[in-house]
């Protein structure tokens, strides 16, 4: 944090790389640890590109809304701003996933993401509109399709992940979360989030094995309360420990069932830019698996 302040924010990108490298290097699977290969320079350049491509147009539209008279001009500028944001968010999510996976490896085999950005933009825009039109009722299906797209286009070498969920099984839990939101002061939301995590993982498979999650709403609530307490006591300085707690929690309740066929996995390198990762960081778009 100190280096970020004295370098006017530039060290932030190198600090983010160090955090990712540490977290992956401390994560082990089948006796081997993961590795992160990204650099602070890549993230900085990606951030500058993101600001040039999306930041400048948004700033110009904001200026137009303030300076030019007439409701028609302001309305047009507002619509264009909304359209840019609707393209910006899914572009950031896909770009970030593509970059982060391409810079991650296990047993020197790189991860990759091979989904088309345009396909995800279409899915995201249509899903967002339908969620709004249905007053949120389409959310379980939209969220499942969004997650499924990101997972089913992810690879380890030449082996891809598979997702077979459709979201309809989450609809009842989602309605219950809406009904119980105010009576439980919002606490039942943790039980819905846990149900969603279990559903997503249990419909995800890799190399002949299926994931299984045993996370519960109570455990998720205790994790969140513990994290909030840690941040308050340390005045925010405990954030690195919060990240470690979250990673440990995620893997503690996650298992693989079935014979895992790793013998046929081979390296297939995929290039990726850090621009999407910078956009995701700027927008604080969540990208974790569930």
Work out the widest C-alpha separation in the chain, in whole angstroms.
Answer: 67
- pLDDT at residue 45, as a whole number: 87
Cα–Cα nearest to 64, from 87, 80, 83, 82: 80
- Convert the pLDDT of each residue in 111-141 to its tens digit: 999 999 999 999 999 999 999 999 999 999 9
DSSP 8-state code for residue 257? E
- Once rounded to an integer, what is the mean pLDDT over residues 185-201? 97
Is the pLDDT assigned to residue 285 strictly greater than 50? no
Angstrom distance (rounded) from CA 197 to CA 205: 14
Cα–Cα nearest to 45, from 82, 87, 14, 1: 14
Angstrom distance (rounded) from CA 119 to CA 128: 14
Average pLDDT, the chain: 88
- Once rounded to an integer, what is the mean pLDDT over residues 30-36? 93
- pLDDT at residue 282, as a whole number: 47
Give the whole-number percent of the chain exceeding pLDDT 70. 89
Instruction: Look at 134-143, 188-197, 267-276 and tell me which has the smallest mean pLDDT.
Output: 267-276
- pLDDT at residue 133, as a whole number: 97
Q: What ranges do the domains of the chain cover? A: 39-158, 164-256
User: How sure is the predictor about 277, in pLDDT bands with cuts at 50, 70 and 90?
Assistant: low
Is the pLDDT assigned to residue 196 strictly greater than 70? yes
Global pTM value: 0.87
């Amino acid at each position: 944090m100190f280096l970020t302040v004295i370098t006017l924010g530039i060290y932030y990108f190198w600090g983010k790389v160090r955090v990712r490298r540490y977290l992956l290097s401390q994560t082990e699977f089948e006796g081997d640890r993961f590795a992160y290969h990204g650099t602070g320079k890549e993230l900085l350049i990606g951030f500058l590109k993101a600001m040039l491509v999306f930041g400048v147009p948004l700033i110009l539209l904001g200026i137009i809304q303030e300076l030019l008279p007439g409701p028609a001009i302001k309305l047009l500028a507002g619509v264009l701003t909304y359209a840019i944001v609707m393209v910006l968010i899914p572009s950031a999510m896909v770009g970030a996933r593509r970059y982060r996976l391409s810079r991650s490896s296990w047993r020197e085999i790189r991860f990759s993401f091979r989904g088309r950005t345009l396909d995800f933009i279409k899915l995201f825009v249509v899903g967002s509109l339908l969620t709004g039109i249905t007053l949120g009722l389409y959310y379980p299906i939209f969220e499942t399709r969004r997650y499924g797209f990101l997972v089913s286009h992810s690879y380890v070498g030449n082996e891809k992940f598979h997702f077979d969920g459709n979201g309809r099984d989450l609809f009842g839990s989602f309605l219950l979360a809406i009904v119980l939101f105010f009576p439980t002061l919002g606490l039942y939301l943790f039980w819905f989030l846990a149900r969603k995590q279990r559903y997503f993982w249990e419909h995800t498979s890799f190399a002949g094995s299926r994931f299984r999650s045993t996370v519960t709403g109570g455990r998720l609530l205790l994790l969140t309360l513990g994290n909030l307490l840690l941040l308050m006591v340390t005045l925010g300085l405990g954030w690195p420990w919060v990240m470690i707690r979250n990673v440990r929690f995620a893997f503690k309740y996650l298992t693989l069932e079935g014979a895992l066929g790793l013998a046929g996995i081979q390296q297939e390198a995929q290039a990726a830019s850090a621009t999407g990762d910078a956009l995701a960081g700027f927008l604080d778009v969540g990208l974790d698996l569930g």
